[in-house]
Amino acid sequence: MRVSTIDKEIMSERAELKRAKRARKKFKKARKKSEHIGIKRFFASLFLLGCIGIITGLMLLYGPWSNFREWLITTAMTTMSHQYFATWFYDEDVIADVLNRNKVVEINEDTNIAMINMNANQTTEYENEYERAILEREPGNNDYKIIEINEKKFSGYLVAVYEPDRIRAVCTRNLGVSGQYLTAMAEEHDALIAINGGGFDDPNFSSTGGSPLGITICNWEFASQAKYAGSGGIIGFTRDNKLILSSKVTKKEAKAKDIRDAVTFGPFLIVNGKKSSVVGNGGWGTAPRTAIAQRTDGIVLFLVVDGRTASKPGADMDDLIKILLKYGAYNAANLDGGTSSVLVVNNTIVNDPIDSTGAHKTRPIASGIILTKDESNDGDHSVVADKLE
């Protein structure tokens, strides 16, 4: 039977359609197989990365290199609310061993306030750049001077307070119940400058901040007189405006020492010009810090440093000692740190507090230390002027 040309074309088209259909099926099958292989490879990569992460984590936590383990334990155990970062992974014996090998050995003596000669320095010749930074003032700058601190591991501010008779300790208005933000304390007490003060009791890690540790004295009034078993002790100012550091002080002894304003914390960093011995990393880890000091000429130093960023994690106790000695500290003590570390100027936070979640914020605290206003209110805050606008 003869096949017409039209029939041949139809048959050719049908054959072409069949070939195209087979090709599409083959392509879909190949693509599906490729996608399946890709998915398998993706999950295999995730599994491999997970294994590497777990192995790396285990090596850091339990491996032969102790630096990370000691940093984690000492940093966590000196926080008020995040000790579980250490207790999740290590038992009490391991934690105790690490803390014993990383600690601050304080100078075992009280401050000799007779060595503080108020307003002794009236010179225009300076031994070094740090002395110049403290003593060189603009005309009329009688209150304070803010100096920027910028180190490899941390940055922050040092405040030179020229009139220590205007320094006061202040407490939360909700004493025993809840803490208060330092900006609110500063505004209520008419402060030019404010820094956070002593530690506070934190039952169940609630961070309420309402109960100061140890003795707290605010303008001769005892705001707290709880027992304190930590390092350091009372950090206060006497009637004649000299910084006194003394461990295990009772209310009766505080009165005998004529202490008008005080908080409690530690460790003591420098006593009578002698620096404490820092064993290992000091046992306090690396974090934002606040410290207070006094020079032999009576000038008081407030130090607040930031941390908790990838490039600048913060300071340890040895860092604080080095900074304060550079600027002539004769007596110095560590104050509460971490999220509590705050510097307030004219009711404005000028440093960068960061909490444990990474949020740029501070927290309510139990006590602060302020510089009150006077009739002149002359101070040099040029390095933070942009933050006060």
Same domain, 109 and 97: no
Residue 163 has pLDDT above 90, yes or no: yes
Per-residue pLDDT, 284 = 83
Phi/psi for 344 (5° steps) reads: -115, 130
Same domain, 204 and 232: yes
Residue 124 has pLDDT above 90, yes or no: no
Same domain, 185 and 268: yes
Give me 142's structure tokens.
Answer: 């009688």
pLDDT (average), residues 43-65: 64
Structurally, the chain folds into a number of domains equal to: 2
Same domain, 97 and 165: no
Mean pLDDT for the chain overall: 85
CA nearest neighbour of 118 among 241, 257, 293: 241
Give me 239's structure tokens.
Answer: 């009637």
Per-residue pLDDT, 53 = 64
Least confident range from 70-84, 186-200, 282-296: namely: 70-84
User: 283 in a domain, yes or no?
Assistant: yes
pLDDT-above-90 percentage for the chain: 54
Per-residue pLDDT, 89 = 72
Per-residue pLDDT, 238 = 97
User: 362 in a domain, yes or no?
Assistant: yes
Q: What radius of gyration do the chain's Cα atoms show?
A: 31
What are the beta bridge partners of residue 331?
294
Per-residue pLDDT, 352 = 94
CA atoms within 13 A on the CB side of 164: 27
User: 129 in a domain, yes or no?
Assistant: yes
Same domain, 141 and 166: yes
Give me 41's structure tokens.
Answer: 């490879």
Residue 142 has pLDDT above 90, yes or no: no
User: 195 in a domain, yes or no?
Assistant: yes
Q: Which domain holds residue 88?
A: 66-101
Rounded Cα distance, 343 and 335, in Å: 13
User: 51 in a domain, yes or no?
Assistant: no
Per-residue pLDDT, 2 = 55
Q: Distance of CA 316 to CAs 235, 284, 291, 364, Å?
A: 19, 6, 11, 23
Q: What is the pLDDT of residues 341-357, one digit of tens each?
A: 999 999 999 999 998 78
Same domain, 281 and 174: yes
The structure tokens 């320095």 sit at 121
Residue 179 has pLDDT above 80, yes or no: yes
User: 292 in a domain, yes or no?
Assistant: yes
Same domain, 289 and 355: yes
Give me 31's structure tokens.
Answer: 């693509």
Rounded Cα distance, 141 and 163, in Å: 11
pLDDT (average), residues 225-236: 91
- SS3 (DSSP) at 332: strand
Same domain, 286 and 324: yes
Least confident range from 4-8, 132-136, 319-323: namely: 4-8
Per-residue pLDDT, 364 = 93
For residues 137 and 207, the model is more confident at 137
CA atoms within 13 A on the CB side of 257: 29
Q: How are beta strands 379-380 and 144-150 bridged, if at all?
A: parallel
User: 9 in a domain, yes or no?
Assistant: no
Same domain, 261 and 323: yes
Q: Using 50, 70 and 90 to split pLDDT, how confident is the model at 20? A: low
User: 310 in a domain, yes or no?
Assistant: yes
> Nearest-5° angle of CA 24, CA 26, CA 32?
100
What are the beta bridge partners of residue 195?
343, 369
Same domain, 89 and 110: no
| Run of H or E residues at 195 | strand 191-196
CA nearest neighbour of 196 among 370, 371, 372: 370
pLDDT (average), residues 189-216: 85
Cβ–Cβ under 8 Å, residues 367 and 221: no
For residues 124 and 376, the model is more confident at 376
Per-residue pLDDT, 232 = 94
Least confident range from 21-35, 145-159, 206-220, 284-298: namely: 21-35
Per-residue pLDDT, 86 = 67
Give me 190's structure tokens.
Answer: 């008419």
Per-residue pLDDT, 140 = 81
Q: What is the pLDDT of residues 312-369, one digit of tens each?
A: 999 999 999 999 999 999 999 999 999 999 999 999 999 999 987 888 999 999 999 9
Same domain, 75 and 203: no
Cβ–Cβ under 8 Å, residues 254 and 234: yes
Per-residue pLDDT, 279 = 85
